[in-house]
Each structure stands twice: as structure tokens, then as C-alpha cells.
């Protein structure tokens, strides 16, 4: 979950939509994975006028909600998994392109594994279960 503080609120700019709030920073309240998503759309449906917007999404439910809203003129272009060291088997956070989202079955029901560029599956603890009995519920284009 992301959070911020009133002190981080930035003044509104005339060029930005009035229904948005700008923040100098956000914080993450948990040491867990999140998604950096690039959403692409064609301004006013004009395929020559390509726009990208980045979203920081804290959970699978939010990611899948955005993915399911894809249309021919507005769609998720790429997803990167941002994973803590305990998940990716290192001592550092990593940001890697997500190739697949896998729903785990059995004892791990309600949990997910993530297939990233380079062949890794996170959390590393569930890599075997993901390959043997997991169900891929999303794949990158």
C-alpha cells in the first residue's frame, strides 16, 4: 500500500487536470512487491498521437483491474514487477519486466507467482509450485 503526507502535496499547476493531486513523494507501508505499469493511449483516438502514463500499483487486484480495462485505443503497454530481496532471492530490490502472472493452487491458494524477464519466478520459494500446478492468468503482449 502506498501512502503520503500532507507536507508532500505540491501546488496545482494550470496545465494539469484540476481533479488531480500532485505529490512530491509517496511511501510504501509494507515490504512487499508492487507494479510499475505503463499505460498507453491514443489522444482523441488518433493513432499518431501516442501518450503514455505510468501507474504504481500496490497489488494484483489493482493490476488486473487496469489490464481488464484494455481497449483498442487504451491498453497496458508494459508491466514491471518491483520486488524486495526476500522475494527475488537477493539482498536488494529489483525492477524487472513481468512476463506472466501465475495463480498458485493448493496450499498456496490466493497467492501469486511472477515470471520475470530472464526466466526468474518469484517468490523463489514458490517457483516449483508455479511451474507444476500454477495457472497463468496474465501474459505480457
- Tell me the pLDDT of the chain averaged across its residues: 90
Q: Who wins on pLDDT, 133 or 17?
A: 133
Domain contains 109: yes
Domain that holds residue 91: 2-10+32-139
| Confidence check: pLDDT of 103 > 70 | yes
Please indicate, yes or no, if residue 116 is contained in any of the structural domains: yes
The pLDDT of residue 61 is above 80: yes
Q: How many whole angstroms separate alpha carbon 72 and alpha carbon 94?
A: 31
Answer whether residue 23 is part of any domain: no
Residue 82 inside a domain? The answer is yes
Residue 50 forms part of a structural domain? yes
**41-45, 56-60, 101-105: which range is least confident on average?**
41-45
Is residue 26 included in any domain, yes or no?
no
Tens digits of residue pLDDT in 79-88 = 999 999 999 9
Query: What is the domain count for the chain?
Result: 1
On the question of pLDDT at 126 being above 90, the answer is no
Q: Is residue 48 part of a domain?
A: yes
The pLDDT assigned to 87 comes to: 94
Give one DSSP letter per residue of 35-48, joined into a string. EEEEEEEEGGG-TT
| 7/2 Cα distance (integer angstroms) | 15
More confident: 39 or 125:
39
User: Within a domain: residue 121?
Assistant: yes
pLDDT-above-70 percentage for the chain:
95
Confidence (pTM)? 0.87
Alpha-carbon dihedral 61, 100, 103, 125, rounded to 10 degrees: -110
Amino acid at each position: 500500500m502506498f501512502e503520503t503526507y500532507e507536507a508532500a502535496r505540491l501546488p496545482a499547476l494550470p496545465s494539469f487536470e484540476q481533479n488531480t493531486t500532485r505529490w512530491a513523494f509517496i511511501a510504501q507501508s509494507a515490504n512487499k512487491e508492487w507494479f510499475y505499469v505503463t499505460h498507453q493511449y491514443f489522444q482523441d483516438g488518433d493513432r499518431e498521437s501516442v501518450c503514455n502514463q505510468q501507474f504504481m500499483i500496490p497489488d494484483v487486484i489493482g493490476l488486473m483491474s487496469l489490464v481488464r480495462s484494455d481497449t483498442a485505443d487504451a491498453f497496458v503497454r508494459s508491466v514491471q514487477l518491483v520486488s524486495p530481496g526476500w522475494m527475488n532471492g537477493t539482498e536488494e530490490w529489483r525492477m524487472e519486466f513481468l512476463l506472466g502472472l501465475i495463480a498458485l493452487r493448493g496450499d498456496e491458494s490466493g497467492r501469486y507467482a511472477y515470471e520475470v524477464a530472464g526466466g526468474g519466478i518469484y517468490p523463489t520459494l514458490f517457483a516449483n509450485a508455479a511451474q507444476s500446478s500454477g495457472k497463468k492468468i496474465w501474459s505480457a503482449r
